[in-house]
């Protein structure tokens, strides 16, 4: 039997969390923040999910002047379900004026036989800041991948900043594992940093690793796109890039 569930997080200025609602496999728990006046929420898997046919959603809002970090206790593993239908996981993020959201989930692993479609939608105010990390791993150790379709759409002050989609695994368009897309790598990820400071000091485009690039975006923002042979190598590249892009900011 498939599961339908929506969890909700709302953060306010001063570290308050007026809304913290768990549902189904999505359990949200307040954890210790690293900065005074900020809030941190960790998503904990209460059951195996997403399975084929599940429809899950997580809604997160950082209100005006809020500081919120959302992370996860463990990786998310997409698994096949009895119906053979794909699972859906929608993440909707909103960040208010002068607010900051750090969206730092663990890896999403597409296990053999699974089919998952994820959609992340971000709406930013003109003065909000965002740190967003996404990582996808194709299959567990020595395992063929499942099918994974991910889409990320980001708007700032109502204007498009980034809109991209990636499809991998069985059933994806031909060439997904070829030299123009994943080039045989099993892990793919991106780091997006949106900050008004980039208006006066945009980053320079450059290669960060053998399969990672840093690209400035009009917005203002910086995007790191990386490929790696495994999750550990991917995280190392993205962590180094995050440290560089946020060096000296006060959170």
Count of domains observed in the chain: 1
pTM of the model: 0.94
Q: What is the structure's pLDDT at 202? A: 86
* Portion of the chain with pLDDT greater than 90, in percent: 80
pLDDT at res. 179:
86
Does position 157 have pLDDT exceeding 90, yes or no?
A: yes
The pLDDT of residue 223? 97
196 within domain boundaries = no
pLDDT digits (tens, 9 = 90+) for 25-41: 999 999 999 899 999 99
In the chain the beta strands, taken as DSSP E runs, fall at 4-11, 19-21, 26-31, 39-45, 55-62, 67-72, 76-78, 87-95, 100-104, 108-110, 115-124, 129-138, 147-156, 159-168, 187-194, 206-209, 212-217, 221-228
pLDDT digits (tens, 9 = 90+) for 60-110: 999 999 999 999 999 999 999 887 899 999 999 999 999 999 999 999 999
Residue 190 lies in a domain: no
pLDDT, tens only, 161-212: 999 999 999 988 888 888 888 888 999 999 999 999 898 888 999 999 889 9
Statement: residue 4 has pLDDT above 90: yes
199, part of any domain: no
Q: Across all residues in the chain, what is the average pLDDT?
A: 93
Q: What is the pLDDT of residue 191?
A: 98
Mean pLDDT of 217-231: 94
Q: Identify the residue with better confidence: 63 or 45.
A: 63
Cis peptide before 237 (omega within 30 of 0): no
Boundaries of domain holding 137: 4-180
């Amino acid at each position: 039997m498939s599961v339908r569930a929506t969890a909700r997080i709302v953060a306010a200025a001063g570290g308050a969390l007026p809304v913290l609602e768990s549902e189904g496999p999505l359990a949200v728990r307040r954890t210790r923040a690293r900065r005074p006046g900020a809030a941190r929420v960790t998503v904990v898997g209460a059951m195996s999910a997403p399975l084929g046919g599940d429809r899950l959603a997580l809604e997160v809002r950082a209100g005006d002047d809020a500081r919120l970090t959302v992370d996860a206790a463990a990786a998310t593993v997409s698994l096949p379900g009895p119906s053979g239908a794909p699972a859906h996981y929608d993440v909707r993020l909103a960040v208010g004026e002068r607010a900051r959201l750090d969206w730092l989930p663990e890896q999403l692993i597409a296990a053999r036989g699974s089919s998952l479609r994820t959609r992340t939608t971000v709406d930013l105010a003109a003065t909000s800041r965002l740190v967003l990390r996404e990582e996808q791993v194709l299959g567990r150790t020595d395992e063929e991948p499942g099918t994974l379709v991910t889409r990320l759409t980001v708007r700032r002050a109502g204007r498009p900043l980034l809109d991209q989609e990636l499809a991998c695994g069985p059933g994806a368009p031909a060439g997904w594992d070829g030299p123009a897309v994943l080039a045989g790598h099993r892990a793919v990820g991106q780091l997006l940093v949106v900050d008004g400071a980039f208006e006066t000091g945009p980053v320079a485009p450059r290669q960060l690793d053998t399969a990672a690039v840093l690209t400035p975006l009009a917005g203002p923002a910086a995007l790191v796109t990386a490929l790696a042979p495994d999750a550990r190598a991917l995280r190392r590249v993205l962590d180094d890039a995050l440290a560089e892009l946020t060096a000296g900011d006060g959170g």
